[in-house]
Structure 1
Amino acid sequence: METYVLAPPADAIERLDELLVAPKFGPDGALYTGVSDPVVRRAAEAIINTAIAQVRDLLRSPTDSAAVLHIFRAGLQRLTLSDTEDRERAAIHVEEIMECIGLESSQGLLNEFVYGFEPGNLAP
């Protein structure tokens, strides 16, 4: 795993704060119908919000990509989403965090979470 020091944008904390209060796992008005079980939806939202808060706290000091990916891995392991669309939505929320902080790659973590494998590890 490639590790590097993060250089987040100046507004990263503010963007994470906005992301923290945004609703998650609800219907998007287009194709995604949201997590149907309200208990599961609240639990999933709490896990993503915890990850956002932890990443925000990390940014108060210099940090590296490995520390952020560790937070993502811990949160994703706690999610109990059986539907692929819901796992894809969780990955989208993680990607939003990544965008806020300038993290360019999950290094296969999101593919592994959503689909159960990293395509780059497939044998030819």
Structure 2
Amino acid sequence: MKTPENANEKFAEFIAKKKFYAENYYPGVADEKMRPIFTQKINRVASDFKSVAESENPTDKKYQEKIKIGLSRFADVYMELDTEDRERVCLYFEELMAIVGLESSNGQLSQFMYGFDPNSMD
């Protein structure tokens, strides 16, 4: 996989933007006190993706491993995420995938969205 030239700039923009606020059809995070926690978790995924992008050999598999790790970080707050929040988390992952041109999460986002135990994923 070739990392796009502007990926670092895109990661910086992603990390800087406010997340889990009401926009389009998303009402914003249900529990305000969870916003900084959710934001920190998704920003860590952006940092993980950035480290893969800057590595000598970025591959789909390496990004998919970072998706797995990133989703597992939401395990401790999974019950705090309502359907809209889970959709928003998946959209943020998709934004990060688009930055690096990753086509597939290998089904991980669907599993996250529709319910699973994040610790039992292979």
TM-score scaled by length of structure 1: 0.82
* Residues 28-54 of structure 1: CA deviation (Å, up to 9, x unaligned): 1x3211113222111111000011011
Structure 1 residue 54 and structure 2 residue 80: aligned? no
- CA distance in 1 between partners of 2:60 and 2:36 (Å): 28
What TM-score comes out, normalization by structure 2 length?
A: 0.83
Q: Number of aligned residue pairs: give it.
A: 111
Q: Deviations 1:98-121 (Å, cap 9, x if unpaired)? A: 00000011110110000137xxxx
Task: Indicate the SS of the match to 1:59.
Answer: helix
Q: Are residue 26 (structure 1) and residue 21 (structure 2) matched? A: yes
* Structure 1 residues 53-99: Cα deviation after superposition (integer angstroms, max 9, x where no partner): 11112211222112211111112122224311100100000000000
Flag structure 1 segments of 5+ consecutive residues without an equivalent.
1-5, 118-124
Unaligned runs of 5+ in 2: 117-122
Q: How does 1:1-124 map to 2 (within 5 A)?
A: 6-28=1-23, 30-61=24-55, 62-79=57-74, 80=77, 81-116=80-115
Q: Distance in 1 between matches of 2:17 and 2:98?
A: 15
Asked if the contact 2:3/2:58 (under 8 Å) is kept, the reply is no
Report which stretch shifted further, 43-52 or 63-72.
63-72
What's the C-alpha RMSD, in Å, of the aligned pairs?
Answer: 1.4
Aligned structure 1 segments of 4 or more residues deviating by more than 6 angstroms: none
Comparing 104-113 and 32-41, the one that deviates more:
32-41
Q: Is the 8 A contact 2:30 2:82 kept in 1?
A: no
More helix by share: 2
Q: Larger C-alpha radius of gyration, 1 or 2? A: 1
| Corresponding letter in the other structure for 2:12 | D
